[in-house]
Amino acid sequence: MRHQITGFSNPTIKRLKSLREKKHRKREGLFLAEGLRILTEALDSGKTPRMLVVVEDSELHPLARKIEAATVAAGGDVIETSEAIIAKLSGKSNPQSIIGIYQDHPVPLEELDRSSANIWLVAQSLRDPGNLGTILRTGDAVGAGGLILIDDCVDPFSVEAVRASMGAIFTQKIVQAKWPDFQSWLRSGPGELVGTSLNTENDYQSVRYTAPTFLLIGNEAQGLPEDYEAACDTLVKMPMMGKADSLNAAVAASVMAYEVLNQSRKR
């Protein structure tokens, strides 16, 4: 059903704007996703918005019309509003002309099927939403099963993380778990835990990885804690030929994921 809203003080607009904050996302189980590409990825993955916000009096792209039709068919609402209100919801001065409100979809650790993919990405205490979104995008690119977030990570359903994922937020399973729980689950079945670290002489290309491979990436500033490194089956590092001593966390995850993928392709 279509509605037109023009006022910033409208209760619906206030509610949607509040989803920019983690506490409100958690309370409602909803999050914002913006842009035609991301919303199309969502629809292709079988995810329909609970609500769709579009710029009033604009000619919708055929893909946007398809998303609108799916939203209405699923019982969702379509809101027409101004570009200024869209900008408030987006947090950007040059926002996309379409925003979807989706149900969040964290997956319990015990419901993961580790045999469904050869690669799984695991991040510990990741703090940057851009890194998290980029790691999700890498996971989608290499056919990973999903992203397991260990300990206190940034919210994967934040506007910034969703934006950086470029739609992979809808294609990758997302799990949030404490380290002891993850260790217990991992050791209850097959799976090799590979950590990235400066505290090893193992070149990342010298190791032969065994599926399913769980790639563990540490915090951007501190890396992995010592006891987390000790729990890994293998520690590896990437050669640094310049003055930098390490790669960005998302870049390191991408390099590692493609090495594991390439080894499996060669086999």
Residue 56: per-residue pLDDT: 85
The DSSP secondary-structure symbol of 47 reads: -
Which residue range(s) make up the domain with 38? 2-103
Is residue 151 within 8 Å of 125, Cβ to Cβ? Answer: yes
Q: What's the chain's average pLDDT?
A: 94
Residue 57: per-residue pLDDT: 75
Give mean pLDDT, residues 153-176.
Answer: 96
85-99, 122-136, 189-203: range with lowest mean pLDDT? 85-99
User: For position 86, which CATH number holds?
Assistant: 3.30.1330.30
Bond preceding residue 212 cis, omega within 30 of 0: yes
Q: Please indicate, yes or no, whether residues 50 and 127 belong to a single structural domain of this protein.
A: no
Q: Please indicate, yes or no, whether residues 125 and 93 belong to a single structural domain of this protein.
A: no
Q: Please tell me the distance from the alpha carbon of residue 187 to that of residue 198, in angstroms, as a whole number.
A: 25
The last residue of a domain, from among 103, 130, 156: 103
Percent of the chain with pLDDT over 70: 100
Residue 39: per-residue pLDDT: 97
Give mean pLDDT, residues 58-67.
Answer: 89
Give the pairing of strands 213-217 and 119-124.
parallel
The last residue of a domain, from among 58, 86, 103: 103
User: For position 190, which CATH number holds?
Assistant: 3.40.1280.10
Tally the domains of the chain.
2
